[in-house]
Structure 1
Amino acid sequence: MNPRLSLRVIGLGVCLAQGVHAATATPAGKTKSFIDYFRPIPMQGPLTSELWGAPGVLPRDPHNGLEDTANRYCYWDGQILRGEDGKYRLFASRWDEARGHNGWKDSVGISAISDGLLGPYVDRGLMWPTDQRGKGHNVTALRLPDGRYAVVVSETRQGDVFVSASLDGPWTHLGQIVTHGDVRKRASNYSVMLRPDGRFQIVPRSGQILISETGVLGPYEAQGPSIYPKVAGLEQRDLEDPCVWYSGGRFHIVVNSWSQRRAFHLTSKDGITGWTLRGVAYDPRVDFVRYTDGTVNRWDKLERPAVVIEGGHVVAVTLAVLDVPKDQEMGNDRHGNKIIVIPFDGAALDRDLANAPELPAEPAAMATPAKASEAKS
């Protein structure tokens, strides 16, 4: 081989090896990305195999997160807020497992409570039972500047917002989110945050940045088209479930590719422009859902990421998980969904990113398209 060509091939190999997985460099020179900051999960109860689920998710701790061990309900979404009483509330959607995974289209919004961050969370039922029989999906929650709490639902409703003076309700319908500009009219996968500058920001499924100067209902102005095509090296196929937050002086987005079955971590200084790919956020083929005794769970689907921020840093990540491909969860079987809570060292992530350069990223990898039945939810 021509020596110059050989050097080029070696250089290309290094770029591909470092691309999507590269984020920050440790003193030893090892690159780290979001997935490397997950911590082992302390067990809230004994691990057991006497549960529903494929072999890859057994044994597990049913007391982690929100799970129906009787498999009557499937749980999805999962935003956690800590109350002034020190207890944690988890906001989620659920549907009857007997309907299979496609039952999500008729899901309802529920809340659950736990004495500890990791669980177990106890389902407390529908949040707005008299409003469209509790209908709600893509459930997320946040605290408003006036001290009230807001729960936002999309996908099956048009960006509806419910508010309460208490994390325990009652919840009142405030209205629907209003958007201006060239914005996809169907509200889908809304991730909502209160920015440090007092404005509200939404990142929907499309990847656009929407900003409101006047409140949680908007109107939200589109800051331009989707940010995703401008992010060098980012997988462009079937992106969904963005989760946006601010920590360590940066805005962050984790976004999932449902067909490629892995998610990616992006950062920006202003939350609007200059988004940079920082690497893989999570991947079900990597053994990162690990208990402190070394036991690993491998869920087939990891979606709907959300973060828990305490002391200005992410301390845990929630994921809605499914043990088999969505079209194999038929209902009245031994498969199902739950919400898991994984400890996360966000202080270390923010510290490592503090002086990180804007890194180049690899070209999007080629892969086989997934089945259409795997989309959405």
Structure 2
Amino acid sequence: MNKLALLIVGASLQYTTLYAQITERERPAEWQYLIDGARFKDRFLPMPDGIQAKGIWGTDSVGNRYVDNGIESPEISFWGGNILQSSDGKYHLYVCGWPENSPKGHMFWKHSTVYHAICDNPIGPFKIQNSIGKGHNPEAFRLKDGRVVVYVIDGYYIADREDSSMWTYGKFNFDPRDRKIIEGLSNLTFARRQDGSYLMVCRGGGVWISRDGLSPYCQLTDKRIYPDVEGCFEDPVVWRDSLQYHLIVNDWLGRIAFYQRSKDGIHWVTEQGEAYVPGVSFHTDGEVEHWFKYERPKVFQDKEGRAIQMNFAVIDTVKWHDLPNDKHSSKNISIPLNKGLLLSVLNEKPITSSTAVIEVKISAEEGFDPQTEIDVRSLRFGSYTEVNFGRGCKPLKVKKSGKDLIILFKNKRNSFVADEFAPKMIGRYTNGGILYGYTRLPYIDYQPALLSARCPTFNPKKGEWVLEIQNFGLSASSPCLVEIRCNGTAQGQMEIKALKPYETVKLALKPLVSPSLSGKLTYEVAFIQKGIETETNVFGE
């Protein structure tokens, strides 16, 4: 290849590299009709004022940043990380990083060190106390017995307390339970369940459950739980509050993230609108820190489990352009979130089209008086599919209950969907700020049984199907029918008894027809309640 050709190839590669991480995704047409407060990104609040400095690294678009927000250093490129609070009120950030002058620049991330940093507040500046060990993309969580686990790709560190100087390295055990592992086991994220067990979502969108948070993690899903749209998904973050599970996943190529909710961690709804996009970091005066990439989102939660802050790994340019001893680098930033209201529905009977009035209580909290701070006329209540577009139930009148406020809403047709589990409220405070909240329904089971099967196998000697089923839910299941199918042909049904949480049963079934077990095979296990197929596990070669 001659010199001119080499120059052309080099220029082409540089152009490709510059735009390799940018693809403009077309938004659904209906999103243009979303109201303020509908999108998760509407919950981002201004970053508290801090210290600005001159002569710092970064492009002009982030030169206005507060250097005491999150954690940053001219000597270290930081990435990932989340915060835990200890009983003494201190905030502990577990973040990874590598020398800014490393020979490969940002691409030295594979040699990351996990740091423990501390601060008296969740915003920063966090200061490194010690290093935990090697690893990348950390996420810290606390076990039921109080021990702290810091996950890193391919392993974890564990210690007795947040500020320990003695961390032990270990590896999780994973049981895919005859399912294909979806896009590998990296960038894991964890949410503690009500009984102290843990739900985990892997990068590919598979859901796993561990009874103690360490091992084994058992896979329950056979396909990704992410939105059924085009996207290069990674960086999921899952958390659970006192009502439901939340999940945000990022399309890194399109630089758009999606927000999802679930009552059980297995079945998810996707709310309309962007969860976050570049530019969600802004100051009280409206000035924006335009970071090129916002990745590895993590949430910090209050005592109710509400997300009150989000931390991001941010970089000011394309990762491959961050070279040693240059003006580019990365850091971790802290952005406060609108935590939402504490709501409760007072109707005891299921809400249907015949329900005339829905009563919703808005609880008072420290620093918040719902009786004086809410613009009642602005409120809308119902399914997110209605409320996010300004529709839904409108208020009829209000009642006071101690320091709380009760809103009586006129029920409107189509304001509730049949499988609604967490109706939403959107409105305004009297000062013009956005308010929102979700509420449980008294008649919904938020700790349901979760029956899950392994792939059925056929025993030719006995001429029968063998099947193992386990309840991964937090309550006992009801007796139900189970049907086995092979390549779409029903092999027969059997009844299974009620299973306690984590209980396993093994069944044997004589087939109705002789199964053909040659060629490409697909198996299904369907759970049937009162003639309705409630769940189907699919296994394929």
Change (3 A) 1:222 1:359: farther
Aligned to 1:48, what secondary structure does the other structure show? coil
Task: Give 1:90's match in structure 2, choosing from 78, 93, 109.
Answer: 93
Residue 241 of structure 1 pairs with residue 235 of structure 2: yes
**Amino acid paired to 2:239:** W
Structure 1: how far apart are the matches of 2:292 and 2:175?
37
| Superposed counterparts of 1:137-156, under 5 Å | 137-154=136-153
Contact 1:208 1:227 in 2 (8 A): yes
Residue 74 of structure 1 pairs with residue 77 of structure 2: yes
Change (3 A) 1:21 1:102: farther
Residue 250 of structure 1 pairs with residue 244 of structure 2: yes
Structure 1: how far apart are the matches of 2:209 and 2:269?
16
Give the CA deviation at 1:184: 5.1
Residue 357 of structure 1 pairs with residue 384 of structure 2: yes
Residue 225 of structure 1 pairs with residue 222 of structure 2: yes
Contact 2:183 2:203 in 1 (8 A): no
Aligned to 1:102, what secondary structure does the other structure show? helix
Contact 2:174 2:215 in 1 (8 A): yes
Give the CA deviation at 1:138: 1.3
Contact 1:300 1:325 in 2 (8 A): yes
Change (3 A) 1:357 1:59: closer
1:274 corresponding residue in structure 2:
268
Contact 2:183 2:204 in 1 (8 A): no
**Amino acid paired to 1:135:** K
Q: Which moved more, 1:218-227 or 1:142-151?
A: 218-227
1:34 corresponding residue in structure 2:
40
Structure 1: how far apart are the matches of 2:139 and 2:83?
9
Structure 1: how far apart are the matches of 2:182 and 2:239?
22
Task: Give 1:118's match in structure 2, choosing from 107, 119, 123.
Answer: 123
Gapped regions of structure 2 (runs ≥ 5): 1-26, 344-361, 363-378, 389-541
Give the CA deviation at 1:307: 0.1
Structure 2: how far apart are the matches of 1:228 and 1:21?
26
Give the CA deviation at 1:84: 1.2
**Amino acid paired to 1:247:** D
Change (3 A) 1:206 1:199: same
Give the CA deviation at 1:43: 1.5
Gapped regions of structure 1 (runs ≥ 5): 1-14, 23-28, 128-133, 362-377
Give the CA deviation at 1:217: 2.1
Larger radius of gyration: 2
Structure 1: how far apart are the matches of 2:314 and 2:107?
14
2:473 corresponding residue in structure 1:
none
Structure 2: how far apart are the matches of 1:109 and 1:137?
7
TM-score (norm 1): 0.79
Residue 201 of structure 1 pairs with residue 206 of structure 2: no
Contact 1:77 1:305 in 2 (8 A): yes
Structure 1: how far apart are the matches of 2:136 and 2:37?
37
Give the CA deviation at 1:263: 1.3
1:16 corresponding residue in structure 2:
28
TM-score (norm 2): 0.56
**Amino acid paired to 2:384:** P
Give the CA deviation at 1:311: 2.5
Q: For CA contacts below 8 A with separation 6 or more, give which structure has more relative contact order.
A: 1
Aligned to 2:274, what secondary structure does the other structure show? strand
Aligned to 2:340, what secondary structure does the other structure show? helix
1:306 corresponding residue in structure 2:
298
**Amino acid paired to 1:259:** L
